[in-house]
Amino acid sequence: GAGVSQSPRYKVAKRGQDVALRCDPISGHVSLFWYQQALGQGPEFLTYFQNEAQLDKSGLPSDRFFAERPEGSVSTLKIQRTQQEDSAVYLCASSKRVGQTHYSNQPQHFGDGTRLSIL
């Protein structure tokens, strides 16, 4: 498809279980971002990849959260020993290579997200 694809769309897990969320970015996009969106809030940054390199993981809330993008395309966000506060929509976004001029801002393009519910 032409857009960012995320799976599953919905995930229900029991507290303490591990979950894995998948993101398939737009073909050719070098940058990939993960965000967490709680109910009634705006998305909040979790982590950023450029190709296969994880350049920023400052937004990951705890060491239970882990993300990878081993071949520079598909990415997986893994949450271990899930807690109720992990319930949220997890959004993935991708963008093109950044240009050289100040006018060449590249927007991030978002998938439809995975809604995670922890019981």
Binding site for another protein (CB under 8 A): 4, 6, 31, 33, 35, 40-45, 48, 50, 56, 59, 91, 93, 95-99, 102-113
Is the CB of residue 7 less than 8 Å from the CB of residue 22?
yes
Which amino acid, one-letter code, is at 59?
G
Is the CB of residue 61 less than 8 Å from the CB of residue 47?
no
Q: Which is nearer to another protein, 2 or 14 (CB)?
A: 2
Shortest separation between residue 81's beta carbon and another protein, angstroms: 26
Instruction: Give the integer Cα–Cα distance in Å for 27 and 15.
Output: 35
Q: What is the largest CA-CA distance in the chain?
A: 48
Shortest separation between residue 114's beta carbon and another protein, angstroms: 10
Q: Which is nearer to another protein, 15 or 53 (CB)?
A: 53
DSSP class of residue 72 equals: S
Shortest separation between residue 46's beta carbon and another protein, angstroms: 9
